[in-house]
Amino acid sequence: MLPQPIRVALLGVTLAFVGGSLVSRLADARLPGNNTGYAPVQPLAYSHRLHAGELGIDCLYCHMAALRGRHAGIPSADVCMACHRSVRASQEAVRAEEQAASAEGRAPRTIVSTELAKLYAALGLDDQLRPDPQATPSPIPWKQVHVLPEHAQFDHSVHMASGLRCQQCHGPIETMERVRQQERLSMGWCLDCHRAVNRDGVGGQPVAASLDCAACHY
Ligand code: HEC
Ligand code: HEC
Ligand code: HEC
Ligand code: HEC
Ligand code: HEC
């Protein structure tokens, strides 16, 4: 058995012959069609379980673009500030500080969560949420979870218009602390659903989901 780094290097060389586009994927150790369960650690611990589950925020509040075009899109940090201008830490952390302050007979300090501090830093704001002249705003470098190969086309809007729900393709995102790819996103997965909806419809409405190569490859 070869040591791990050498095996990985050999796999890289083999795949380099298969196709250039595969090589860039190796950096994240993922192979096309077999990314089920992929759940990269994100630069900021944003939780869909908390926001879309417990707090009940609608998916479209942050992913409205899914109705209009190919991409559902990732919200910019400004969208988060609708709430996080006032919510700077969890209620639990705020309450703990209030109790500590009253026990010590002092005024409670403003608590800023370490994860939310990353949000403020991305917007170039200081501890008081004022623009920090020293800081350069830069978007949060979220890691992309779902990726189709370039030769296949997928458009959210046609799927949303037919009445499908996000969860039919992404699983129970509102229970996920960290987003995980639920389905294979293989050609077989697309075609299986297209055949099923052509037979059963979506929510009682008939649909005609294409099985033509050119619908998905052009
Ligand atoms: C409903 C959409 C859809 C249709 C219709 C479709 N494909 Fe695909 N195809 C895909 C997707 C998505 C992938 C990428 C799968 C992956 O990454 O594993 C793919 C991958 C492929 C690949 C790459 C090898 C592979 O299996 O991943 C080939 C070749 C291919 N399709 C040929 C065809 C041909 C020929 C037809 C018509 C008979 C066709 N496709 C119809 C969605 C489709
Ligand atoms: C308050 C904003 C917000 C809400 C509400 C929200 N999301 Fe997200 N979503 C994000 C952010 C930020 C990311 C990027 C970070 C991550 O992957 O967790 C993301 C990532 C995703 C991804 C992975 C994207 C990729 O890289 O492939 C999917 C899928 C997704 N969301 C689906 C949903 C669904 C389904 C719902 C409703 C159940 C939902 N989201 C609700 C903000 C939100
Ligand atoms: C019919 C299946 C399907 C449905 C329904 C669906 N998605 Fe997706 N989603 C996908 C696929 C496939 C990809 C990968 C697309 C790519 O790589 O181009 C994806 C990618 C994404 C991404 C990351 C890339 C992007 O498009 O911005 C987000 C975020 C996302 N979906 C959110 C949602 C949300 C929110 C909903 C509901 C409003 C939803 N999706 C409904 C299949 C679906
Ligand atoms: C509709 C309001 C709302 C929006 C929009 C929102 N959040 Fe939150 N978020 C909250 C609330 C409320 C909490 C605190 C819940 C608690 O008390 O535990 C929270 C908690 C958090 C936490 C955990 C803080 C900690 O230390 O426990 C993070 C990280 C976070 N949000 C990131 C984000 C990001 C990133 C976005 C934008 C993509 C976002 N939130 C959008 C309401 C929101
Ligand atoms: C959960 C079921 C489901 C999955 C999974 C799914 N689709 Fe679809 N697809 C549909 C439905 C429903 C329609 C709309 C048909 C209509 O409007 O009559 C559709 C329509 C389309 C269309 C528009 C052309 C047409 O048929 O009218 C394309 C292109 C397409 N899908 C590609 C894909 C690709 C690529 C994948 C896989 C990455 C995929 N779909 C996965 C259900 C699905």
DSSP sequence for 142-202: PPP-----TTS---HHHHHHTT--HHHHH--GGG-SS----S---HHHHHHHHHHHHHH-B
pLDDT for residue 25 is more than 70: no
Confidence category of residue 2, pLDDT binned at 50, 70, 90: very low
pLDDT at 33: 52
pTM, whole model, 2 decimals? Answer: 0.91
pLDDT for residue 82 is more than 90: yes
CA distance 73 to 175: 20
Confidence category of residue 139, pLDDT binned at 50, 70, 90: very high
Confidence category of residue 73, pLDDT binned at 50, 70, 90: very high
pLDDT for residue 29 is more than 70: no
pLDDT at 17: 37
Q: What is the mean pLDDT of residues 93-121?
A: 96
User: Could you tell me the distance, in angstroms and rounded to a whole number, from the CA of residue 149 to the centre of ligand 4?
Assistant: 32
Pocket test for ligand 4, best of 47, 80, 118 (most atoms within 8 A of CB): 80
The percentage of the chain sitting over the pLDDT mark of 90, rounded to a whole number, equals 82
pLDDT at 194: 98
User: Could you tell me the distance, in angstroms and rounded to a whole number, from the CA of residue 47 to the centre of ligand 2?
Assistant: 9
Q: Which residues pair with 131 in a beta bridge?
A: 125
Ordered by start, the domain boundaries in the chain are: 1-31, 51-73+151-216, 75-141
Cβ atoms of 93 and 87 within 8 Å: the answer is no
User: Could you tell me the distance, in angstroms and rounded to a whole number, from the CA of residue 206 to the centre of ligand 2?
Assistant: 29
pLDDT at 35: 86
Closest CA to 84 of 131, 118, 132: 118
Pocket test for ligand 4, best of 64, 84, 86, 98 (most atoms within 8 A of CB): 84
pLDDT at 108: 95
pLDDT for residue 8 is more than 50: no
Mean pLDDT, the chain, integer: 88
Closest CA to 175 of 61, 54, 64, 57: 54
